[in-house]
Structure formats: structure tokens, C-alpha cells
Amino acid sequence: MKLQNQTAIVTGAARGIGKEIALSLAREGADVLLASRDKEALEHVAHNIRDMGRRALVVRTDVSDEQQVAAMANSALAEFRRIDILVNNSGVVGPTVPLAKLSREEWDQVIAVNLTGAFLCSRAVIPQMISQASGCIINIASIAGKLAYALRSPYAVSKWGMLGLSRTLAQELGPHNIRVNAICPGPTAGERMQGVIAGRAKELGRPVEEVERTYLEGTALKRMVDPTHVAAAVVFLASKEGSSITGEAIDISCGFAL
């Protein structure tokens, strides 16, 4: 196993990409703290991890809440005694509207969860990683963090910000043998993407099938990303094979270039 005797925190682990990441880390030998606001869904993921013979700890966490994030990190240390891997995956889609129609509340919510959440979680684990002289932080950003994304301004800005955070932290933490990278998924199969498509179709007044086709045609492979492929990239970056990689933003996007 590539991650034997390691411990991980995965935020947004209740479903979708986060769930697949948590399960993949466990399959490779890691014990996992699962964080999300949906404790019931987390318990199902934890059950699957325990069936693999790994430890799983469920901590209901709103990553935009500083106190809850601190409690999450403390719970990981109390249970596992170390923190080797942090995957900042929690995120909200936010509205699909032109910026001129966007409310301050909508803007703040997306930035608070997607970007400030990654900052708070990273800050909470860094002291422990420094004391260990090792660690790996992986931020699940988006291809939207590299492109213009009309009608999705707060989401795009939050993901661009995650790339800046990743590269800056990589420089700060490299001397402590801590690596920081970002993964940028493109359109990824699952309920969340279907919700994004439906929201865009409604805003544009177009059929859902037409909008979905636009996303597919924007990829070189003419299909959506399998969430397990994002999880496989996380495992690679967290493993010994990825130990020379830091400060990078790796696309898992089926060649999305819209």
C-alpha cells in the first residue's frame, strides 16, 4: 500500500469527488478523518472505510467556521497523533448569474467556503506538519481557476485564489518538507455537475441537453471526468512517487478548453 501508516483529513468527503478521494486514500492504507456538514452521509463513507480495516473518524465541520476547523484538526490529532495529508475539497457551486445580478451575500458564501475554508484548514494543520517535518496538502481547485467562466464569477475567483494559495504555500513550506499542490478537475460526472448544467440552462433559457453538450464539446475527449480519476491523482501526489512535486496545478479535465 502506498500510504501505509499515514493519516489524512478530507473535507467535503460526504459525496462526489471527496467521497472517492477518502475511499481511495483508505484503500492505499491511510486512516481518514472525514469532514463535511452532512454527518449522516459521512457515516456511510466511514462505514465503507472501516470495512477495509482502516480507521475513520467523522467530524461534522463547516470549513468557513474558524472554531469548527480548529476542532476538526484537534480531533485528528487526538485520534491519529499525526496529520500526513490534508485534502481541501469542500466547496459550494454558488449561483449561475451575471456579476451585475450577484448579491454580496452570494459572493461572500462562495469565497468563505471555497477559498477561506482552504486557508483555515491549511493553517490548522501546518504547525503539526512542521513539527513532523513532513506533510502534503492537496487543494481541489477547478479548471475554472485557469479560465474565464461567465455567469460563475465567485466560483471562478475562488478557484483562481486556491491556485495562488497552493503555489504560495508550496514556497513557504518547502523548507519543512511539506508539499502543496492543486488539482483542477474539469466537468466531472455526478449530481453536482448535473446541477451546474441545470442552473446554466435556466439562466440562459436553453435546453439542459444543449448546455450539457456544450460542456462535452469543450473537452478534447468529448466526455466528463470520472471522479475516481481525480482521486487517483490525489493518491499519487500524496505517495512517495509524487514526493518531488510541489507548487503545481494539475489538470484532470479531459482536455477542457472552453
pLDDT per residue of the chain (258 residues) written in tens, 0 to 9: 999 999 999 999 999 999 999 999 999 999 999 999 999 999 999 999 999 999 999 999 999 999 999 999 999 999 999 999 999 999 999 999 999 999 999 999 999 999 999 999 999 999 999 999 999 999 999 999 999 999 999 999 999 999 999 999 999 999 999 999 999 999 999 999 999 999 999 999 999 999 999 999 999 999 999 999 999 999 999 999 999 999 999 999 999 986
pLDDT of residue 210: 97
Number of independent structural domains in the chain: 1
Cα radius of gyration rounded to whole Å, the chain = 18
What is the domain extent for residue 69? 7-188+226-252
In a domain, 220, yes or no: no
In a domain, 37, yes or no: yes
In a domain, 56, yes or no: yes
Helices 153-173 and 117-132 sit at what angle, rounded to 10 degrees? 10
CA distances from 124 to 2, 6, 152, 200, 238 (A): 25, 18, 29, 36, 19
In a domain, 194, yes or no: no
C-alpha cell of residue 114? 471555497
In a domain, 211, yes or no: no
pLDDT of residue 258: 63
Q: What residues are annotated to the active site?
A: 155
C-alpha cell of residue 153? 464569477
CATH number at residue 136: 3.40.50.720
- Distance from C-alpha of 6 to C-alpha of 26, rounded to nearest angstrom: 9
In a domain, 157, yes or no: yes
* Dihedral over Cα of 199, 202, 205, 207: its sign: positive
- Distance from C-alpha of 148 to C-alpha of 156, rounded to nearest angstrom: 7
In a domain, 216, yes or no: no
In a domain, 117, yes or no: yes
